[in-house]
Amino acid sequence: MKTIVLGAGVIGVATAYYLSERGCDVTVIEREPGVALGTSFGNAGVIAPGYVTPWAAPGMPAKLLKYLLKPTSPLIFRPALDAAQWRWIARWLRECDLARFRVNKQRMQRIAYYSRECLHAFRAQHAFEYGRSQGYLQLFRSDYDVELAQPALNVLRDAGIAYRELDADACAQIEPGLAWSRVKPVAGIYLPDDEAGDCARFTRELRAVCEARGVKFVFDTEVLALESAGGKVTGVRVRAVPGREARNRREQRRAPAEVLRPADLAEPAADTSPHTLAADAVVVALGVESAALSRRWACACRSIR
């Protein structure tokens, strides 16, 4: 089956891997010049199925409202006269109820644990280095943060997930770098079975595994639309990213003067007119349009050793 995967982040490349394993003829399309140059380039690389948490959580509406009043808010909200937007917000508010939160969290955890099993099975087959480390430390900077985390802790307890509640000193024993932190945590949770790794590095290695299996990667190509006939997707409308091809050629020469020069008019321009790539199936893995996580409640980072 000829299958096109849209997006070469970790999700798209992993999807391509599993599809090729099942005998599909896979092509991955990506607007950037390589894999993992979107969110997968700069995420925190934490694999924490024990701590996956829905954003719809008790206490979250009040917390987000507070953020919206700050100039450095990690959340941007543009109210519109759009019924769909307000319906979505009403549904989100309903899901912040404690009972719904518990159901949603358990569902997310089931998927996350299954994904981690897949990762471990994959690692047993393809042993490559991607900066992996064991354990996950979650820090709380205020008593309010500790209070907000309680429903999530109850879910961990009920699910029998291994975790330790830590005071500030115990956090610093696990992460000695906290000695230099200006704002000390008041407490933390440590999940010994969770792990972390360099997501971009993992994705680049995975690309090599995919290519060895015959997966094709088409870079510098923007997806414009899905094409369909008779209620079935038949292909993908794409075009070369304007100006990208000439710029890449200049960058490959690595001469600073060349790289800094404005667009080289002498080079033939890439054909940027839209065209269609046919497919029996299309998998969309285009990630999010934009995201901002900075927190006290969501600034995730990884120590580089």
Ligand X SMILES: Cc1cc2nc3c(=O)[nH]c(=O)nc-3n(C[C@H](O)[C@H](O)[C@H](O)COP(=O)(O)OP(=O)(O)OC[C@H]3O[C@@H](n4cnc5c(N)ncnc54)[C@H](O)[C@@H]3O)c2cc1C
**DSSP readout, 92-140?**
HHHHTSHHHHHHHHHHHHHHHHHHHHHHHHHHHHS------EEEEEEEE
Residue nearest to ligand X (CB): 9
Does residue 110 contact residue 163 with C-beta atoms inside 8 Å?
Answer: no
CA 272-277-283 angle, to 5 degrees, is 115
Q: Tell me which residue of 247, 244, 233 sits closest to 276, measured CA to CA.
A: 233
Site for ligand X in 272-301 (CB under 6 A): 285-287, 291, 293, 300
Q: Among residues 4, 17, 27, 45, which is the contact residue for ligand X, using CB under 6 A? A: 45
Strand partners, 229: 232
Q: Among residues 3, 4, 5, 7, which is the contact residue for ligand X, using CB under 6 A? A: 7
**DSSP readout, 175-191?**
-GGGGG-SS--SEEEEE
Q: Which is nearer to ligand X, 115 or 142 (CB)?
A: 115
Q: Among residues 5, 10, 149, 215, which is the contact residue for ligand X, using CB under 6 A? A: 10
Q: Which is nearer to ligand X, 119 or 168 (CB)?
A: 119
x/- map, 184-203, ligand X, by CB under 6 A? ---------------x----
CA 7-38-251 angle, to 5 degrees, is 100
Residue 224, amino acid? L
Q: Does 264 bind ligand X (CB under 6 A)?
A: no
Residue 183, amino acid? V
Q: Does 37 bind ligand X (CB under 6 A)?
A: yes
Q: Which is nearer to ligand X, 39 or 73 (CB)?
A: 39
Q: Does 218 bind ligand X (CB under 6 A)?
A: no
Q: 265: which DSSP letter?
A: T
**Using CB atoms within 10 A of its CB, is residue 22 exposed (0-12), middle (13-18) or buried (19+)?**
exposed
Q: Among residues 16, 19, 27, 38, which is the contact residue for ligand X, using CB under 6 A? A: 38
Q: What number of chain residues touch ligand X (CB under 6 A)?
A: 27
**Minimum distance from CB of 288 to ligand X (Å)?**
7
Q: Among residues 46, 56, 171, 236, which is the contact residue for ligand X, using CB under 6 A? A: 46
Residues that bind ligand X (CB under 6 A): 7-12, 29-32, 37-40, 43-46, 199, 222-223, 285-287, 291, 293, 300
